[in-house]
Copies of this chain bind each other. A is one copy, B any other.
Amino acid sequence: ALDSVAGIRAVLCLFEGVCTGAADGYGRMTGSPALTLLHLGPGFANGIANLHNARRAHTPIVNLIGDHASWHLEHDAPLTSDVESLARPVSAWVRSVEHANELAPAVAEAIAAARTPPGGVATLVARSDAQWNDAAGPRAAQAPAPAPAVPPKRIARAADLLKAPGSPALLLGGAALRGDPLRRAQRIAAGSGCRLISDTFVPRLERGAGVPPVERLPYFPEQARAFLEPVSALVVVGSRPPVSFFGYRGQPSLLAPDATESFVLAHPGEDLAGALDALAERAGSAEAAPSLAAPPQPEPPTGGLSPETLGAALAATQPEGAIVVDEAATSGLPWFLASAGSPPHDLLGLTGGAIGQGLPCATGAALACPERRVIAFQADGSGAYTLQALWTQAREGLDVTTVLCSNRSYRILQVELARAGIAEPGPVARSLTELDGPPLDWCALARGFGVPASRPANAEELATALQKSFAEPGPHLVQVDL
């Protein structure tokens, strides 16, 4: 059918986790669902981790899982499994279709479910007889449910919180992190004096020179709590009151200190733009956007390679309109700080914590936005999860620059060991956090998948390699030894 129905671009991935991660990147950039085509329960299972991230990002995705013929299922052939049990934890909508006549309406319903605000994962299991039997013609598209408006009582309460004495803040998520809603939030901040904060891991954040700046909540709970300490009230728009990524002994799960009131103005699926408009009327709003004194874009750095010089080199060279997929983990913070004044760009984060998202998500973002450069800012440990994405980038000629942060360790696990009081792990525990012996040769791996690669020796060479890759079409990998 792909050869007879126009308007579908079929993209082959070497692993389902690449496919679902690419669908996540595509959906985050377009707001429309990509369709994944997956093979029974085990094929779907390979895509679950990145669907988990997509679920947390509220990305619209439609999964189409081909399953056995309905009459074959009872015989429990080797590939048979309980697909729905696997699908439910990551899906907002699941349905199995047995009859050909149900397939077209079910697909229309799946697309509508995926597009229903705030967006979600819709999983359709199609028995093979439902695919090969005769059926009535296609079904017209079905409109997604609209985003419900936020009740006036909540608007009033949020406005009171912003106007009360103290130091309130707006915690923004989802569609409030970009475009008009973000600018509306900025004018509310200018008018009311509140701060703008985002979650640590964002589906898609617009930032850079000239874009309203948003402070990012720190990752570790004690840092996050210290960051929120001065905040008198946290008015949440399109997110949730922030929760610690992990639960630690003797630390609470909720990050806002007791003295900080958290109030959800708009849940993710509600009309965020309308809520911000209404809030602006009640809480005050600057007439025009404040003129921003953006921090300067840094100069390309000199010296050895480190997270700091890497961050500066990337921030100094990234082109306007770049899409930065940030799975750099412990290597990423210096870039985030350095790039506040870089040309406007989008930041796509690891919303669900399921590592192995970066290279696939970058692949999908590049498919969605062929006119923009995508930067896969990638840690090595997580990059090794789904490195097969590089092949799809080569095959489709996608403009993706992978900046591979090679620190040859699961650094975050070393940090967590220390946080758990194990300052000097024994040799076995330590070895489970080390990726040396042998180190991964990322240039060889990239070339094996058809992607050219380079390995700069210092910060100057790194900046040159980045500039060269941004100027040339197609994918490139830069291995940065940290």
Contact = CB atoms under 8 A, between A and B. Distances in A.
A303 to B, nearest CB: 28
Give the copy number. Answer: 2
A291 interface: no
A443 B441 CA distance: 12
B41 A89 contact: yes
A360 interface: no
A431 B352 contact: no
A444 B448 contact: yes
B79 A245 contact: yes
Interface string A113-136: 000000000000000110010000
A449 B387 CA distance: 12
Contacts of A82: 88-89
A72 B448 contact: no
Contacts of A88: 82, 85
Interface in A413-439: 420, 425-429, 431-432, 435, 437-439
Contacts of A443: 448
Given A243-B75, A438-B394, A15 B445 contact: no
Contacts of A321: none
Interface string A66-87: 0011011011111101110110
Interface string A239-283: 000011111010001100000000000000000000000000000
Contacts of A381: 14
A264 to B, nearest CB: 14
A3 B449 contact: no
Interface stretch (A43-51, A164-172, A204-212, A224-232): A43-51
A428 B89 CA distance: 32
Contacts of A444: 444-445, 447-448
29 contacts: A2-B428, A2-B429, A2-B432, A4-B426, A10-B432, A14-B381, A15-B384, A17-B46, A42-B49, A45-B354, A68-B246, A68-B247, A74-B253, A77-B246, A77-B253, A78-B201, A78-B351, A78-B353, A79-B353, A83-B89, A85-B89, A129-B247, A384-B391, A391-B440, A395-B438, A439-B450, A441-B448, A445-B445, A445-B449
Interface of A: 2-4, 10, 12, 14-15, 17, 40-43, 45-46, 48-49, 52, 56, 68-69, 71-72, 74-79, 81-83, 85-86, 88-90, 128-129, 132, 201, 243-247, 249, 253-254, 351-354, 356, 381, 384-385, 387-388, 391, 394-395, 420, 425-429, 431-432, 435, 437-445, 447-450
